[in-house]
Amino acid sequence: MSSTARVAAQAKINLFLRILAREESGYHSLETLFQRIDLADDVVVRVGGSTRSLDCAGPAMPSSGLGPVEKNLAFRAAEAYAQATGWPSGFQIEVEKRIPVGAGLGGGSADAGAVLRALDALSPRPLGEAKLLELATPLGADVPFLTSSSVLSLAWGRGERMLALAALASRHVLLIVPDFAVRTADAYKWLSERRGDRAVRAVSLSVAALTTRANVDALAHNDFEAVIGERDPSVSQIVRDLRGRGAAVAMLSGSGSAVFGLFDADVAASGQEILTRTSERVAEISLD
């Protein structure tokens, strides 16, 4: 039986993101269209022994590190799997960080989803995707999608209610990450302060409207963009610049701070810009 699994933990962008009412639990409901992209962390999961560890390195590692291991989503995902199944006793996780941290691209969530998928591929008694999604839900709104077998999904609630959609043809994605990170909790706080008591209703996106790139482009919107732009005008300037360079869509991803542009024609990246593509398939797991 294999003891090592390797997988590319793909990042995501939100092609549409609407933040709805705050629930009694303190969490906000959302309505979003998730799209995987080819930019990915490299995740290796080994099982065996009794030790549990997580090692992170790579070009996207912040100089201050990622904080306590026990709070890392990838480590928490492995512990959740072990608690739910009684296996494995020990695991060792290695992450090569390539997804910018605190950028709204789901890097930590992608690592968590990759770990859940890797453990299930290694397990002598796999849970299957439905059970994995149950484990993913308490970890965060992006984790269920990044655990799923879909590259494009419409999601509601806290991200746990998903409808997988047919993949759209791949296109260029240009990512620009300002030199500041955004804590998701702060983004929600700022948005709530801006709205006050004003009610926000779901748009109820039609699945039929999400079958072509042109229709998806027409719906592009992110509720966080205005509040993040108020705190750092560079975000709004980057959006304008990307549109000026020919982006069919330019907007904030997630709670930021990354801004992405979607291009139908070739586009060149310069400086610290990241050029990638929207994904047409979920990365496969390799077993050793």
Active-site residue list: 12, 142
Q: Give the count of beta carbons closer than 10 Å to the beta carbon of residue 106.
A: 29
In the chain, which ranges are continuous DSSP H helix? 73-85, 107-122, 129-136, 143-147, 184-195, 213-219, 224-231, 234-244
Give yes or no for a contact between 245 and 229, defined as CB atoms under 8 angstroms apart: no
Q: Give the count of beta carbons closer than 10 Å to the beta carbon of residue 255.
A: 27
Rounded (to 5) percent helix, strand, coil in the chain: 30, 30, 40
Overall size of the chain counted in residues? 288
Tell me the C-alpha distance between 156 and 162, whole Å: 7
Give yes or no for a contact between 104 and 181, defined as CB atoms under 8 angstroms apart: no
